[in-house]
């Protein structure tokens, strides 16, 4: 089973493209990357393994992994001139606004890797994006809290480097917890790619016009920001804080069922999964590990667990096939790790960059590739005569 769908222009299918990267079976709750189950990758691989797999189609051998990891590590620094770019933002700018701006501006600083017809430049741009995203994200965070930027270090792995750039300060040694670094790495794996979701489709459509890769990834970041998509992890925390205590859960469950009430249970439901999102199960396990490691008793987790229990027993949600998705637990873990809610979607964008890049390259390197040009079902006026201003 390859899980490929072929788009047949002759018939209105929801399939938008061929792809060999990620396969989802929403009915059963299966997610595979290049044939490997997400549960196995989350258990046995690290994020660099998964990045190599998504980009090259195979898990790396030891020497390939060493070389790939080195090429990423030695591209983590940002062009020094971009520091001034950050200083143009207000301190209270949402970090996603900074991400969209800074990533879009990368084509102005790295124009030697914007010629998409050159395979070498495509590879360099891909590595630069994957390597620099943690630095860009960490700088957005440091800028928002008025702390100095922390440079990446070549003696740390991808997740450790990110945690160090986020939480360390020049005044003292920052001790990286191996459990937090492993949890961070696993969160990156679980968010790496997810077939043709809204932001990935945005990247593909942008890339189909041969726009440079930095501009395409900036478009993907913009799309991911929405609370119906990647912004849901931030919205889950806001919802749990609004619910506040377990005894108020039934009130919100009823609101979620009321078609006239715009309230939606954040972190529940999915356009494709009509069963448990396999990532949510791994995330739930990781959530308990992180909270135990940190000795955090988060009352919001208690509310989250009770909300999940009640929702899963409720026949409305069963009938609508609404299950917790990846965002339901990620917000709680990230809050426990010390991230502000404004950074949750930034972390999602950081992790999803490899998926966007892999899907962009698959599209660009397809010899059949043409500019994307969706059509419409026109339901406006039929032809009518012009009316002069004086006669309107
Ligand atoms: C992500 O596409 C991806 O792969 C995305 C993602 C990825 O990795 O890229 O998986 C990441 O975006 C996960 C989703 C995060 N969003 C949220 O958690 C926000 C809350 N969820 C909802 O907004 C909603 O479930 C969506 C947007 C995710 C999906 O909406 P759909 O496509 O309308 O869902 P559906 O067709 O399955 O809905 C069926 C019914 C509808 O009611 P009816 O029209 O049949 O009466 O269930 C209702 C929906 O209104 N419904 C909900 C609900 N989600 C759907 N009702 C209450 N609460 C909810 N959360």
SS3 37: strand
* pLDDT for res 15: 65
31 C-beta closer than 6 A to ligand 1:
no
What count of residues does the chain have?
A: 392
Give the H/E segment covering residue 56. helix 47-56
C-alpha 28/C-alpha 36 separation (Å) is 16
From first to last of its 392 residues, the chain has per-residue pLDDT tens of 344 444 344 434 456 789 999 999 999 999 999 999 999 999 999 999 999 999 999 999 999 999 999 999 999 999 999 999 899 999 999 999 999 999 999 999 998 889 999 999 999 999 999 999 999 999 999 999 999 999 999 999 999 999 999 999 999 989 999 989 999 999 999 999 999 999 999 999 999 999 999 999 999 999 999 988 988 888 899 999 999 999 999 999 999 999 899 989 999 998 888 888 999 989 988 888 888 888 888 788 889 889 989 988 999 998 988 888 888 888 888 988 999 999 999 999 999 999 999 999 999 999 999 999 999 999 999 999 999 999 99
C-alpha 242/C-alpha 49 separation (Å) is 39
Query: Per the structure block, which two tokens stand in for 20?
Result: 């060999």
C-alpha 211/C-alpha 355 separation (Å) is 18
352 C-beta closer than 6 A to ligand 1:
no
Nearest CA to ligand 1 atom 35: 271
213 C-beta closer than 6 A to ligand 1:
no
Which of 212, 194, 243, 221 has its CA nearest to residue 347?
Answer: 221
C-alpha 262/C-alpha 259 separation (Å) is 7
User: Do residues 7 and 16 lie in contact, with contact meaning Cβ atoms separated by under 8 Å?
Assistant: yes
Of 288, 327, 381, 385, which is the active-site residue? 327
* pLDDT for res 276: 86
Nearest CA to ligand 1 atom 13: 229
* pLDDT for res 10: 41
Q: Cα 112 vs. chain centroid, distance in angstroms?
A: 27
SS3 42: helix
* pLDDT for res 292: 86
> For residue 262, how far is its CA from the centre of ligand 1 (angstroms)?
13
Query: Per the structure block, which two tokens stand in for 214?
Result: 């930095």
C-alpha 336/C-alpha 221 separation (Å) is 24
SS3 60: coil
Query: Per the structure block, which two tokens stand in for 239?
Result: 């919802």
Whether residue 270 lies in the annotated active site: yes
pTM of structure: 0.91
The alpha-carbon radius of gyration of the chain (Å, integer) is: 22
255 C-beta closer than 6 A to ligand 1:
no
> For residue 103, how far is its CA from the centre of ligand 1 (angstroms)?
28
C-alpha 266/C-alpha 345 separation (Å) is 14
């Amino acid at each position: 089973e390859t899980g490929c769908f072929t788009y047949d222009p002759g018939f209105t299918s929801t399939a938008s493209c061929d792809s060999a990267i990620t396969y989802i079976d929403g009915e059963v709750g299966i997610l595979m990357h290049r044939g490997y189950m997400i549960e196995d990758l989350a258990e046995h691989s690290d994020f660099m393994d998964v990045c190599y797999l998504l980009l090259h189609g195979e898990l790396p051998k030891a020497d390939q992994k060493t070389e790939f990891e080195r090429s990423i590590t030695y591209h983590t620094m940002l062009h020094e001139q971009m520091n001034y770019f950050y200083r143009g933002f207000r301190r209270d700018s949402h970090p996603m606004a900074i991400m969209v701006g800074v990533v879009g501006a990368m084509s102005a600083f790295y124009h030697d890797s914007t010629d998409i017809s050159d395979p070498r430049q495509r590879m360099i741009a891909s590595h630069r994006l994957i390597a620099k995203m943690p630095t860009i994200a960490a700088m957005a965070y440091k800028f928002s809290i008025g702390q100095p930027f922390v440079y990446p270090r070549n003696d740390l792995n991808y997740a450790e480097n990110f945690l160090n750039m986020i939480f360390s300060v020049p005044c003292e040694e920052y001790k990286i917890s191996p459990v937090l670094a492993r949890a961070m790495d696993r969160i990156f794996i679980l968010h790496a790619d997810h077939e043709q979701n809204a932001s990935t489709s945005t990247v593909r459509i942008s890339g189909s016009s041969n726009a440079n890769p930095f501009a395409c990834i900036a478009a993907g970041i913009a799309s991911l920001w929405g609370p119906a998509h990647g912004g849901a992890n931030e919205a889950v925390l806001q919802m749990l804080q609004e619910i506040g205590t377990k005894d108020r859960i039934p009130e919100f469950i009823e609101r979620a069922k009321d078609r006239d009430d715009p309230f939606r249970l954040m972190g529940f439901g999915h356009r494709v999964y009509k069963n448990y999102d396999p990532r949510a199960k791994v995330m739930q396990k990781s959530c308990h590990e992180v909270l135990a490691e940190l000795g955090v008793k988060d009352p919001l987790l208690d509310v989250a667990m009770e909300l999940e229990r009640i929702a899963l027993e409720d026949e409305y949600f069963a009938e609508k096939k609404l299950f917790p998705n990846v965002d339901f637990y990620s917000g709680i873990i990230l809050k426990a790790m010390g991230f502000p809610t404004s950074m949750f979607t930034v972390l999602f964008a950081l992790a999803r960059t490899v998926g966007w890049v892999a899907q962009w390259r698959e599209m660009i390197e397809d010899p059949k590739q043409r500019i994307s040009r969706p059509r419409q079902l026109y339901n406006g006026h039929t032809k009518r005569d012009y009316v002069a201003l004086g006669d309107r």
